[in-house]
Chains A and B, each alone.
Chain A
């Protein structure tokens, strides 16, 4: 089975930093994805972690600890367009998403 836990909602201020946590339990593990989804649109790829540690890509970074079943997505210099849902998805033989964290960025 697979269990994924993320906060339901978060709010932050434009220009700030926000960290979205994800804890997971999976039978088998081949890495973890983070996706961004704006309302009514398709999810878009943000990051992929397969080894422990931090992966940085521009304003977005993702961290993975396999032993703890834990990942986070760090968003820096928040912009209004970052208001979206952020989906954590550990991979075994199929791609299952958590319920997502709805982030609202305010001026």
Chain B
């Protein structure tokens, strides 16, 4: 157990639907990162939050949004889902934003859009 909790582990949904992925960071970590990994592809950085505020954005689609709550957990919302959104979605957490204090990954949510 890495200490970063992602739920659900698996999700199957239809095109056009909306889903919410949840991430609870490791205790004491303030920064949360979201990544998308399609089959046989690299990790694509989506968005980063630090202590409730958006810190950096990557290649995140307008159909996707995220937030970090006061208790530091984060949610990634994916809407108007398309077949191409099927992927593993990882979140990672760290103490500081941008420093090597240990970025720990959750086990991921596998999203399948049918």
Residues of chain B within 8 A (CB-CB) of A31 are 99-100
Known interface pairs A94-B48, A95-B92. Does A45 touch B103 (Cβ–Cβ under 8 Å)? yes
Greatest chain A CB density within 10 A among B33, B58, B100 is at B100
Cβ–Cβ contact B45 & A96, under 8 A = yes
Expressed in whole angstroms, the Cα–Cα distance for A30 and B92 within the complex equals 18
Cβ–Cβ contact B56 & A93, under 8 A = yes
Interface residues on A, range: 20 to 34
Cβ–Cβ contact A33 & B56, under 8 A = no
B12-20, B65-73, B78-86, B104-112: which lies at the A interface?
B104-112
Cβ–Cβ contact A95 & B33, under 8 A = yes
The answer to whether the Cβ of A40 comes within 8 Å of any Cβ in the partner chain is: yes
Expressed in whole angstroms, the Cα–Cα distance for A98 and B103 within the complex equals 16
